[in-house]
Amino acid sequence: MDDPIRYSVIIPVYNEEEVIEFCLKEVSKVLKSLVEPYEIIVVNDGSQDHTAALVTRQAQRDPSIKLINLSRNFGHQAALSAGLDYAQGEAVIFIDADLQDPPEVIKKMITKWKQGWEVVYGQRIKRERESFFKKATAAFFYRFLRLLSGQDLPLNAGDFRLLDRKVYQTIRHLPEHHRYLRGLTSWVGFRQCAVPYERKARQAGQTKYPLWKMLRLATDAITSFSDKPLKVASLLGLLTAGGGFGYLIYSFIRYLVGYVVEGWTSLVALLIIFNGILFMILGVMGNYIGRIFEEVKGRPIYIVRDTLGFEKKVDKATRAKARPKRS
């Protein structure tokens, strides 16, 4: 009987044909040096290039490499969730294919895990070849999210992390559709610690996280963990209503003392400002309503087209869960 799998490394990929073979080589090298059973789960998130074919070729040579092909592009967080559903290890490790997060750090994470830590996350202390804009916005985002969510979210920590089996099994069964796994990892608790490392430049190819995807991830993170934007919107609406009422009284008093307003420029300007604030508030509310709409439909987070290297069908492979009946 084969020994139980000790480590499951999950690598989400989307159009990574330029780096995936080198990535698998480097990750395999690190895991082989541990002399413990492992598996490498590559989740192909609807790639349009030759990524799947290259992984298939590597999997035929190395049985520890396994492949999950999703039916289309569902997004980075959904791909990680798919990997969690199929993982069999006592611990899982998330790592991206671009190798900006060095595979050598996995050894340090495992050392911490063997010391009793249940979540070990990589914390970036330096970023190579990243623009000032990206560094500044990342620093602002982590601090802003921590302020809004009330969660003790670690700063400068991405998805590169190790999760103990009890942790990732707990996360697997959380029902929300819009997932922000970094936040969920902090929310579930357990013993957590950081491993500092220097983030390298991308090996090849282009980033798969342009600005609009970063903004969408930020929106998912904030709306998933905080209702403070709704409270701020309510406060802003109250202040603008009070300001408008105060301006009305001011104008009426000026009329009573005989001052005739010759122009309405200031009034038009105030209307534009107030209407802009009103639409912003409606946008915040609409965002939350949209999230509710997505959740109540109960659709799966992802759909699997086919797999390679897995001996048996995994339950809940599409994350389709039975929803509790509403009275």
Buried b (16+ CB within 10 A) or exposed e, 91-113: bbbbbbbbbbbbbebbebbbebb
Segment 259-280, tens digit of pLDDT: 655 555 566 656 766 776 777 7
3-class SS of residue 194 = strand
Segment 83-138, tens digit of pLDDT: 999 999 999 999 998 888 889 999 999 999 999 999 998 888 776 555 566 666 66
Supply the mean pLDDT for the chain.
77
3-class SS of residue 91 = strand
User: Structure tokens of 289?
Assistant: 């309503």
Given this model, what pLDDT does residue 83 score? 92
Give the pLDDT band of residue 11 (cuts 50, 70, 90).
Answer: very high
Give the pLDDT band of residue 178 (cuts 50, 70, 90).
Answer: confident
For strands 157-164 and 192-199, give the pairing: unpaired
Answer whether residue 291 shows pLDDT above 50: yes
Given this model, what pLDDT does residue 39 score? 92
3-class SS of residue 309 = coil
Pick the CATH number of 7-226+299-308 from 3.30.2140.20, 3.30.1360.200, 3.40.47.10, 3.90.550.10: 3.90.550.10
Tokens 């009284």 sit on residue: 249
Stronger pLDDT, 142 or 191, i.e. the higher one: 191
Q: Phi/psi of residue 143, each to 5°? A: -70, -40
d(CA 55, CA 67): 7
Stated pTM of the model: 0.70
Q: Give me the percent of the chain exceeding a pLDDT of 90.
A: 23
